[in-house]
Amino acid sequence: MPSREARGAREGVKPTAADAARRSAAARDVLTALVKLQDLDLMIREATDPHQADAVSKMGFKTEGVGLLHAARQALAAEVEPRLLRIYDAAARRYGGRALVPVTNRTCLGCSAVLPTGLIPDPKRITSCQSCGRILYPL
Amino acid sequence: MAVDVQVVLETFDPALFLPALAAPDKDSVLQELVAHVQARGLVRDAVPLLEMLRSRESLGSTGIGHGVAVPHGRSLAVPRLVAGFARHASGVAWGAVDGKPVKLIFLILAPPLEQPTRYLPFLGRIVEAVSDADRRKRLSKVTTYEEFRGALRDALA
């Protein structure tokens, strides 16, 4: 079913401020979900890396619940739109798990490229670095 | 890579010194810690940070025994290595290795990538610092950030 905004556009109705706020909140939620996903993927990778797992185990930390993390990962991934999840997974494969990278001072901290003037990092929008393709996370 | 004592001390943020936590359970403690991290302006979005700490507890309790817990982990939401200290007077159930309630809580957060990499060595220094009963006893009595710094400095020496 087309969204209220899509129907509105077809019928010549201008989007309202409430529509824009809903869009921003949805994008913010998606970005938050992607950060949670990447954090979880990194935790799984570290917990299953023999060297790191051994180091934290020697410190006295338990790490026996990797199965629970895999289940949580599956549930979280199911909440993300499939198209975005494909972009995330592809970038994660290409960049060693780091599909999202911070952006500060208009610089992508993944590839150090300075963002073009027109590209404004905004937590309310999903934007990718035009140089490396990774999803940008404004700190 | 070894982490210098001074670096450890400077990483503990005075705004994240919480000597009188009273939250009733582990999750409430984590929520309170994250709320302070956000109030300090260290993260824009607290949601992924809290989720990461909960996931870490799912992986295995960060309660290392003798009344000490070190909730820790990496999150993209965190811009740099961050550490905080909290004390819970009555103790809170944490599912620790020895089953004892936790009274001393060290929060350690790091971004996915750091230059130089200090996160794991930092974690190791804290665990080492609280391995001795006298050091834990002293830490359990601190009431000010300065006293905490002094006790931690001596524990790390």
Q: Is B79 in contact with A138 (Cβ distance < 8 A)?
A: no
pLDDT of residue B117: 87
- The residue segments making up the domain with residue B83 are 5-156
Domain for residue A116, yes or no?
yes
Predicted local confidence at residue B70, as pLDDT? 98
* Band of pLDDT at residue B103, cut at 50, 70 and 90: very high
- Residue B29 φ/ψ, nearest 5 degrees: -65, -45
Query: How many domains is chain A built from?
Result: 1
Contact (CB, 8 A) for B111 and B74: yes
Segments forming the whole domain that contains residue A74: 17-138
- Confidence at A126, pLDDT banded by 50, 70, 90: confident
The CATH number assigned to the domain holding B126 equals 3.40.930.10
Burial per residue of A97-117, b for 16 or more beta-carbon CB atoms within 10 angstroms, e otherwise: bbbbbbbeeeebbbeeeebee
What number is the average pLDDT over the span A19-37? Answer: 80
How many domains are there within chain B? 1
Q: What mean pLDDT do residues B89-99 have?
A: 96
- For chain B, the maximum distance between any two Cα atoms, rounded to a whole number of angstroms, is 39
Position A134 in a domain: yes
- DSSP state letter for A39: H
**Which of A119, A45, A127, A118 lies closest to A87, judged by CA?**
A127
Smallest Cβ distance to A36: which of B51, B112, B124?
B51
* Residue A12 pLDDT class (50, 70, 90 cuts): low
pTM: 0.89
Greater pLDDT, A17 or A51:
A51
Q: How many residues does chain B have?
A: 157
- pLDDT for A15: 65
Instruction: Reply yes or no on whether the pLDDT at A1 is more than 60.
Output: no
Write the pLDDT tens digit of every residue in A96-109.
Answer: 999 999 999 899 99
Confirm whether A11 is domain-assigned: no
**pLDDT at residue A25, rounded to an integer:** 66
Average pLDDT of span B87-114: 96
CB proximity under 8 Å: A 13-72 to B: 32, 35-36, 38-40, 42-43, 46-47, 52, 55-56, 59-66, 68-69, 72
pLDDT recorded at residue A120: 74
Catalytic residue list contains B66: no
Section B121-141 average pLDDT: 96
Question: A5-14, A101-110, B58-67: lowest mean pLDDT where?
Answer: A5-14
